[in-house]
Amino acid sequence: MYNVQQISYMGTYSIPEVCQMISRSERTVRQMIANGLATIDDKRPTLIRGTNLIDFLLNENDKNRCPIEFHQFYCLHCRQARIPKGKVIWFSREHPTLPNMCGICPVCGCKMHKVYKIADISRLKREFRLTESPCISHSLDSSLNCRVDDGDNCATSCNQEFMKFEEKGDTNANEN
Ligand SMILES: [Zn+2]
């Protein structure tokens, strides 16, 4: 559980400051960013608003109370585990080094994020319908109009992304 007592809603924090306040490593904080913790755009070093940090951590605390199954994502808005609408997910290109997947909450229409392990990729391919990331704009504009029927081109492009991860996974295995 995260303690948010030291964090001010009005504050702005660097990653090392966040690490200190929540007693977690920089790696953990970067993982939170990959999982959807908002940062202030275009600022170097990376800065995080207190309000975003508190919301994120409280949601993490909720999540720890509410276990999430493989095919479920956590909706930050509903604060519930949800199966992405239409079982459609796509690659977040914001964090291209991780299999960081996005889907749409079937209840409120918000975008949900979840980072999977490279080992999960073949199961993801079986359990979800993969689509292309530009679908994000459809989804956000008209919340639930994510066009699942857009055809195989989308799925193909996403599968190529997955293959990159599979190649990387193999490389790591060889190194070990
Ligand atoms: Zn929701």
More confident call, 171 vs 86: 86
More confident call, 99 vs 121: 121
What's the CA-to-centroid distance between 68 and ligand 1, angstroms?
14
Average pLDDT of the chain?
77
Beta 12-14 vs 47-49: how paired, if at all?
Answer: antiparallel
Q: Specify which of 77-86, 89-98, 145-154, 156-165 reaches the highest per-range mean pLDDT.
A: 77-86
Predicted structure pTM score:
0.50
In this prediction, residue 95 carries a pLDDT of 57
Distance between CA atoms of residues 29 and 170, nearest Å: 27
Convert the pLDDT of each residue in 104-116 to its tens digit.
Answer: 999 999 989 888 8
**Least confident piece of the model among 37-46, 70-79, 99-108, 155-164:** 155-164
What's the CA-to-centroid distance between 54 and ligand 1, angstroms?
19
What's the CA-to-centroid distance between 80 and ligand 1, angstroms?
7
Taken in order 34, 37, 42, 48, the sign of the CA dihedral is: negative
- Across residues 72-95, what is the average pLDDT? 86
- Across residues 22-49, what is the average pLDDT? 91
